[in-house]
Amino acid sequence: MSLAVAAHTNASAASPILAATGLSARYGHIHALHGVDIRIGEGELVAVLGPNGAGKSTLLRAIMGLSANSGEVRFRGDVLPRSDAVAVASRGIVLVPEGRGLFAPMSVSDNLELGAYRLRDKAEFARRRDRVLTLFPRLKERLGQAAGSMSGGEQQMLALGRALMAGPKLLLLDEPSLGLAPRVTGEILETLGLLNREGLAIVLVEQKAPLALELAARVYLLSLGRIVAELDPRDITSHDDLARHYFA
Amino acid sequence: MTISPAITSPERRPPRLVGLLPWLFAVAVVGYAMVVGGYAATVVSFALIYAVFVTGLNLFMGFAAQVSFGQNAFAAIGGYGSAVLTATYGWSPLPAMVLGIAAALLAAAIVGFPALRLKGHYLAMGTLAIGLITYEITVEWQSVTQGYLGISGIPPFGIGPYEVTSDRGQLIMLALVVAACAFAAARIRRSRFGRALSAVAGSEEAATALGIDVSRYKLMAFLLSAGFAALAGSLFVHVVGYVSPEVFGLHMVIVTFTMLYVGGIGTVAGPLVGALIVSLLPETFRAFKDYQDLAYGAALILLLIYAPRGLASLFSPRGRS
Amino acid sequence: MKQNLIAAVLAASIAAAGAPGASAQELYKIGVSAGLTGYAATVDRAWRDGVELAAAAVNAKGGVMGRKIQVIVEDNRSEPQEAVTVYRKMLSSDKVDVFVSGCVSAGNFAAAGLLLRAKVPMMLCSILPQQAEHLPWAFTTLPPAGFEVDKRLEYLKEKTQVRKIAVLHDPTPYANLQKGVAERNAAKYGLEVVSVDQYKQDDADLSVQISKARSAGAGAILKIGLGGTTLTAAKNIKQLGADMLLLTSLEDLAVFGPVSEVLGDKFFFVASPSQVYEALPEGALKAGIKAFLDPWREKFKDRDPNWASRGWDGVMLTVAAIEKAKSFEGEKVRAAYEELKGFQGTTGVYNFRPDLHQGITENPFVLATIAAGKVKVVQ
């Protein structure tokens, strides 16, 4: 575990948008977290990598307050409540969950609208909607269609679009590439990169390391519910490098 | 029974007129009962009362995708509230109904608060218990409910000196109430509240992650549903003039579930269509005598095979696949 | 498909509406709302069979005042709202002239207002409606609730040393009425009611109530209510080793065999005359029962005749009322029912009055036990 403390003096670490310390959680029997510490800088895109069952989804759910958990999570310095996801969401932390969590029988338009459920300002709503439809022009063609009837890639776009409708300050993405063709994945990651360059902080959980490594400023490696390494993506040149860290 | 599967595919939008078919059917049935009167009027009156109940049940089970086997409890509270206040204490029907509904809402809030923390099977079993307990109370609290003897002499509805006693008068009144309920359900479906319920129905976790207060909306849907149930219970006792515990027993749960699924859960027209069909079917098979239940059961099975999402969904503008 | 349904509904109602007509002149229609399914099924199926048997007997003799009787039976599923529907159906579609309806009291109460408006009288198996304005149109063959209780109290006073009794009853209206009578009348027979407990028809154990009765010093239990709970009570008494008599309500005789095996000579039951026909002395009552019991036994062998015999009485009372009124009209038949005096039925003598629509005025019941497999009258 000594690698985990590798000194990455990242500029953004000074005033993090999110800082979790000693975060422990339980989800089912194996997907547990044991005292995880992570920090996300303002405007930073951080990837969390790890094998299946490492606790990646549990980590995001714990940050949101969706699963029973203990420890401390601060958002821009304020302590977040630990079991009130609605309160966490109201601070501007938005999760795109594993499997996207779309409302399948509802239309694309309704799904987008639900993303901005807490927003009552009509002008701002229209502005966000225009922005999402510009980012994902394909959704524009399918506004009246049931979300569940679209292709996987389109559904992922909608999930992302719906999250953006909430006006996030920190976006938590759980395996957005799952089940998608490489070309579509590329498109989505490109959009993520764009959003990040505009200043949106993102936590990207992935099993497919290479994709995440292209975008991320920093990488946490998660294994069996513990952070086993914190790395600079530029230091990782091959798959073997990663494997070495997992099994160190 | 020749319904092309293409109609139910999500891409195709049937013309507007098709969406109106369930309503035209309802209008035709009520109109027929109005003209013929007598027995047909009684059957359709009961169907309309059930339609109010099922419209409420649909808010909770269809729109919010929760399960409750205990809404008959609130019909009992509304019904007995009306019965006791009018027959025993001489109130006029309207204030008695309002108080009965208020009492049902209070009861729903008291049980809903803890019960809605339960999920899936636990919520279903919890609500079943509410229904059974209320039934026991209506049987045992004899000083107020008169147990199985029931309460008779409940006055019909009326405003001032005008009482709705004729079959046609009652049908018109009930049809107006049902129309108002269906209109309310349609408005709720399209409202912000309705979309939140759909989100809760889709995925409680995803809804929560979007900042939708799931437990609050579930409670609100539960309360609304209880209010509709209490209204139906009150309508029943004023139309029949008599109430006893069996009226709001487990039988009511079974019948209303059948109506909800046959009509189309989650649709706006479904509860009314289901209530009418499920009330009319056994009557059309009455001539079969001992085979009446068999014919009715077979008809239900056919309906559920050929219209698994309910009759109303066959005509809904956006077929839900 | 909707069109088909509408067509089916239309066809059904046209068929129903078209049924009367040419033959209506010669038929007198008796409607029966009975719980052929549901909790009242055993009792009401027997009631229906009694009504149909009586109608056949009347028709075999040429009918009533030249008209044949037609019996129309609808199943109310033992539910009040179903009863309203079937009463309505028989009133408006079948245009029945009178109802001789079964024992689902809630169903008869719920429909009482309809009959008042339609001016059609009903002769019932159940207790009478509670609403004063409904009473003129309702009559019953049911003996007063007190009779079953009094017979038991009488026996305890005259033939036993027991002076402290317990009452065990179910929550049905009839059982509640009987409980009230037991509490009021016990003192009259020099008895003291030391415990009153309720049970439910589907209870599988009554030992709590029975222990309570025993510790209160009761020497006998008056059990009021039907069904399998009688056997349960008997078993519990035996298990507890309680030295108590069990005296139960009127019931299908078939229930009593197993109970008697458990409790032997400590078990007694109230029986109606038709159930103890063989033990009756010759006379008007025995002859009245014979008229019914002969065709009944021919058709149903040794099936219990109790409820069917009252269904038979219901039809025969109606025939008598029509002949007295010389009219089939509802209002006139209603008035004639009120004047029926000294009518010898299978359950006793009926004496109706305008202020008394429960015609049995003298206690027709006996108390019986089963000794060596045979029913024996003890009181």
In a domain? residue C358: no
Judge: C9–B240 Cβ closer than 8 Å, yes or no.
Answer: no
C-alpha torsion sign, points B236, B242, B248, B252: negative
CATH number of the domain where residue A70 is located: 3.40.50.300
Report if residue C286 sits inside a domain.
Answer: no
CA C228 to chain centre: 18
For residues C313 and B305, the model is more confident at: C313
CB-CB neighbours of B115 under 10 Å: 21
Same domain, C200 and C154: yes
Same domain, A173 and A78: yes
Tokens of C238: 């035996």
CA distance C149 to chain B (A): 20
Query: Does the structure show a pLDDT above 80 at B121?
Result: no
- Asked if the Cβ–Cβ distance from B251 to C85 is below 8 Å, we say no
Count structural domains, chain C: 2
pLDDT of residue A5: 37
Residues 6+ apart with CB under 8 A from A25: A32, A33, A55, A58, A59, A61, A62, A67, A68, A69, A70, A71
Give yes or no for a contact between A171 and A202, defined as CB atoms under 8 angstroms apart.
Answer: yes
At residue A1 the predicted structure's pLDDT band, cuts being 50, 70 and 90, is: very low
Residues A16 and A87 in one domain: yes
Between B188 and B165, where is the model more confident? B188
Q: With an 8 Å Cβ cutoff, are C5 and B280 in contact?
A: yes
pLDDT for A241 equals 67
Q: Do A103 and B196 touch (CB under 8 A)?
A: no
CB distance A62 to A23 below 8 Å: yes
Helices (H), chain C: 2-18, 41-60, 80-92, 105-118, 145-159, 173-185, 207-215, 229-239, 256-263, 284-300, 306-325, 330-338
Spatial distance between the Cα atoms of B150 and B144, rounded to a whole number of angstroms: 10
Q: What is the pLDDT of residue A238?
A: 65
| Sign of CA pseudo-dihedral B3, B8, B9, B12 | positive
Quote the CA–CA distance of A185 and B127 in Å, as a whole number: 45
Residue found by looking up tokens 């909770």 in the block: B60
Pull the structure tokens for residue A240.
């073997």
Q: Are residues C369 and C328 in the same domain?
A: no
C touches A, CB cut-off 8 Å, minimum 3 pairs:
no
Q: What angle do CA B152, B56, B189 make, to 5 degrees?
A: 155
Q: Are residues A108 and A136 in the same domain?
A: yes
- Across residues B42-58, what is the average pLDDT? 94
Give the residue among A218, A167, A235 at the shortest CA–CA distance from A49.
A218
| pLDDT at position B298 | 86
Phi, psi for residue C205 in degrees, rounded to 5: -150, 130
Taking every pair of Cα atoms in chain C, the longest distance, rounded to a whole number of angstroms, is: 74
The residue from A109, A133, A165 where one domain ends is A165
pLDDT computed for residue B316 by the predictor: 65
Give the pLDDT band (50/70/90) at residue A242.
low
Residue B184 CA to its chain's centroid (Å): 14
* Final residue before a domain boundary, out of A137, A165, A193: A165
Residue B184 has pLDDT above 50, yes or no: yes
Per the CB < 8 Å rule, is B210 touching A114?
A: yes
Report how far residue A196's alpha carbon sits from residue A75's, in angstroms, rounded to the nearest whole number: 18
Asked if residue C224 and residue C170 are part of one domain, the reply reads yes
Q: How many beta-carbon pairs under 8 angstroms link A with B?
A: 80
State both tokens at B40: 């047909």
pTM given for the model? 0.81
Tell whether the torsion through CA atoms of A122, A128, A131 and A132 is positive or negative. negative
Are C41 and C152 contained in the same domain? no
Instruction: Decide if pLDDT at B85 tops 70.
Output: yes
Phi-psi region of C301 (alpha: psi -120 to 50; beta: other; left: phi over 0): left
The CA distance from B71 to B59, in Å, is 12
CATH number of the domain encompassing residue C231 = 3.40.50.2300
Rounded to the nearest angstrom, the minimum Cα separation between B103 and chain A is: 31
Q: Rounded distance, CA C351 to CA C338, Å?
A: 8
User: Is the CB of residue B210 less than 8 Å away from at least one CB of chain A?
Assistant: yes
User: Residue C212 is part of which domain span?
Assistant: 145-272+365-377
Q: What is the pLDDT of residues C49-98, one digit of tens each?
A: 999 999 999 999 999 999 999 999 999 988 888 898 899 889 988 999 99
Residue B97 C-alpha, separation from nearest chain C C-alpha, in angstroms: 20
- Chain B hits for A122, CB-CB cut-off 8 Å, are none
Confidence at residue B54, expressed as pLDDT on a 0 to 100 scale: 96
Mutation site for C-interface testing, chosen from B242, B256, B293 by largest number of C Cβ within 10 Å? B242
Residue A182 corresponds to which tokens in the numbers above?
A: 């490489």
Percent of the residues in chain A that have a pLDDT greater than 70, as a whole number:
88
What's chain C's length in residues? Answer: 379
CB contact under 8 A, C6 and B28: yes
Question: DSSP H helical segments within B84-213, as ranges?
Answer: 93-115, 120-140, 142-145, 167-190, 192-202, 204-209
Q: At what angle do helices C41-60 and C306-325 cross, to 10 degrees?
A: 40
* Cβ–Cβ gap A146/B318 under 8 Å: yes
Whether B148 and C81 lie within 8 Å, measured CB to CB: no
B208:A101 CB<8 A: no
Please say whether the structural domain B40-156+163-314 has been given the CATH code 3.30.460. no
Does the distance separating the beta carbons of A145 and B10 come in below 8 Å?
yes
Are A82 and A19 contained in the same domain?
Answer: yes
Q: Select from A196, A236, A174, A194 the least CA-distant residue to A48.
A: A174
Say how many residues make up chain B: 321
Residues A45 and A121 in one domain: no
Q: How many domains does chain A fold into?
A: 2
In a shared domain, residues C372 and C247: yes
Name the residue range of residue A144's domain.
Answer: 96-165
pLDDT in tens, chain C (379 residues): 444 544 444 444 444 444 444 444 589 999 999 999 888 888 999 999 999 999 999 999 999 999 999 999 999 988 888 898 899 889 988 999 999 999 988 899 989 988 988 899 999 999 999 888 889 999 999 999 899 999 999 999 999 999 999 999 988 888 888 999 999 999 999 999 999 999 988 889 999 999 999 999 999 999 998 878 899 999 999 999 989 999 999 988 888 888 999 998 899 999 999 999 988 888 899 999 999 999 999 999 888 999 999 999 999 999 999 999 999 999 999 999 999 999 999 999 999 999 999 999 999 999 999 888 888 888 7
| B277 → chain C, closest CA residue | C5
- By C-alpha distance, which of B8, B318, B311, B304 is closest to C2? B311
A116-150, pLDDT tens digit by residue? 888 888 898 999 999 999 999 999 999 989 888 99
How far apart are alpha carbons C319 and C287 in whole angstroms?
Answer: 18
Which of A97, A113, A145 is facing B206, going by the closest CB pair?
A: A97
Q: Among A3-7, B128-132, B228-232, B255-259, which is the least confidently predicted range? A: A3-7
What's residue A6's pLDDT?
Answer: 38
Residues A142 and A229 in one domain: no
Beta bridge partners of C356: C353
In this structure, what are the phi and psi dihedrals at residue C278, rounded to the nearest 5 degrees? -60, -35
pLDDT at C17: 44
A5-11 contacts, C-beta under 8 A, 24 or more apart:
A6/A229, A6/A230, A6/A231, A8/A218, A8/A230, A8/A232, A10/A41, A10/A44, A10/A217, A10/A218, A11/A41
Which of the listed residues A165, A184, A203 is the one where a domain comes to its end?
A165
* Mean pLDDT score, A48-72: 86
- On whether any CB of chain B is under 8 Å from the CB of C32, the answer is no
CA angle, B253 then B258 then B262, to 5°: 155
Q: From chain B, which residues contact C within 8 Å (Cβ)?
A: 1, 3, 21, 25, 28-29, 32, 36-40, 42-43, 46, 139-140, 142, 146-150, 152-153, 236, 240-244, 246-247, 251, 277, 280, 283-284, 286-287, 292-293, 306, 311
Q: Are residues C220 and C316 in the same domain?
A: no
Contacts with B31 from chain C: Cβ below 8 Å: none
Report if residue C125 sits inside a domain. yes
**Cα nearest neighbour of B273 on chain C:** C2
Residue B209 to residue A89, Cβ atoms within 8 A? yes
Quote the pLDDT of residue B16.
65
Whether residue C30 is found in the same domain as residue C173: no
Q: Please answer whether residues A16 and A63 qualify as being in contact, where contact means their C-beta atoms are separated by less than 8 angstroms.
A: no
Neighbours of chain A (3+ CB pairs under 8 A): B
The pLDDT tens digits for A222-237 are 888 888 888 887 777 6
Residue position matching structure tokens 């993090």: A16
Does C303 lie in the same domain as C189?
Answer: no
d(CA A81, CA A87): 7
Residues C206 and C373: their CA atoms lie apart, in Å, by: 26
C7 occurs within a structural domain = no
- CB atoms near residue A194 (< 10 Å): 11
